[in-house]
Amino acid sequence: MGDEFEERNVRIGVTNGKITAIEEISRVPDVWIFPGFFNAHTHLGDTVAMDIDAPGSIGDLVAPPDGLKHRMLRAASPQTCVDAMNASIRTMAQTGTFGFADFREGGINGVRYLQEANRECSLDSAIFGRDGGEAAGDGLGVSSTRHYGEELTHIVETARANGKKIAIHAGEKDSRDVDTALSLDPDVLIHCTHATPAQITNIADAGIPVAICPRSNWKLGVASSRQNPPVHAMIDAGVELMLGTDNVMFVQPDIAAEMAFCHYVYGIDSQKILKMAVAGAHITGRDYSIVEGNDARFIRYNTARSNAQFSKNMVTTIINRFNPRDCEGSLLMCDLK
């Protein structure tokens, strides 16, 4: 229940998609109810290049503007692009994710393809376009301030004047593009894998949430210890962290897998990890916590179907052992074909 995942024995009433009642019950139910996940950073478009074998580092493959990923995106037909993103959206929905924030390449058309791909499942979404795509989406997604010159300030100001949110990749390879990103006062920063202590303080003071993508960082070779991203320092400083899975090209957009990775590699407290897996909904202005009046975005998890019934710590079991097979009802807000 609530922001801190307090465990209570309750029955939850839902009317017209909203939580309208939370009633205490005396027995201990078999079904756990907890908030759905939000994937705070994806590149769904590169589903078209999933697990491709290619020479060179993965970093080179995803580097804009001419890395293999970008060449494949340009070569893919619009229908292939829509179908691929739709398939990844289904995969997310099937693994407990109710919403996502995506960096969409390909300008206005790229954003429209993703809107089309999400029409059927209708997950909550924040689409950050670029190269003009910000006009059709929810915001502007900046690959890194190092990829732009002075024109970036004007691009950001124009997007903001049009009511768009600003999201910026920063600190992924080193700390050198973090200060310039901060100077643009973004709504969310992505990665901060190499943010310095001083930058972390500034991020916390500015109240800017950070979407971290640890599996992507390890796969890309920009992290090799629990010091990067500096999750514990960011948590201690009061930075709001959110979990994302980054490029579908080489990381499955499965937040449960990201949660387990965070627990094993970084040793983050279970409650904090679950909070990170849910907090991304704030990017869309939603709140997935189980509180009367909020949208019903929760998962019903039947522990009687698995060894979860022997758990002595509900939240630790959720973040380490979540299995969609044990979810009751459809996780999809659309019907599976």
The number of residues that bind Zn ion (CB under 5 A) is 1
Smallest gap, in angstroms, from Cβ of residue 50 to Zn ion? 16
Least Cβ distance, residue 139 to Zn ion (angstroms): 14
Report, in Å, the least distance between residue 134 CB and Zn ion. Answer: 16
Q: Which residue is nearest to Zn ion (CB)?
A: 246
Q: Which of residues 228-247 bind Zn ion (CB under 5 A)?
A: 246
**Nearest residue (CB) to Zn ion, 102 versus 326:** 102
In the complex, least distance from residue 312 CB atom to Zn ion, rounded to whole angstroms: 37
- Would you put residue 6 in left (φ > 0), alpha (ψ -120 to 50) or beta? beta
Beta bridge partners of 190: 169, 211
In the complex, minimum distance from the CB of residue 33 to Zn ion, in angstroms, rounded to a whole number: 32
Q: Would you say 183 and 166 are in contact if contact means Cβ atoms under 8 Å apart? A: no
Give the burial class of 59: count Cβ atoms within 10 A of its Cβ; 0-12 exposed, 13-18 middle, 19 or more buried. Answer: middle
Q: Counting Cβ atoms within 10 Å, is residue 8 exposed (0-12), middle (13-18) or buried (19+)?
A: exposed
Which H or E run contains 318? helix 314-321
Nearer to Zn ion by Cβ, of 170 and 262: the residue is 170
8 A C-beta contact, residue 192 and residue 171: yes
Which of 3/131 has CB closer to Zn ion?
A: 131
Helix (H, G, I), strand (E, B) or coil at 14: strand
Q: How far is the CB of 112 from Zn ion (least distance, A)?
A: 20
Nearer to Zn ion, 276 or 318 (CB): 276
Tell which positions 70-89 bind Zn ion, by CB under 5 A: none
181 vs 327 by CB, closer to Zn ion: 181
Q: Cβ distance 89 to 123 under 8 Å?
A: yes
Nearer to Zn ion, 93 or 251 (CB): 251
Question: Which positions touch Zn ion (CB under 5 A)?
Answer: 246
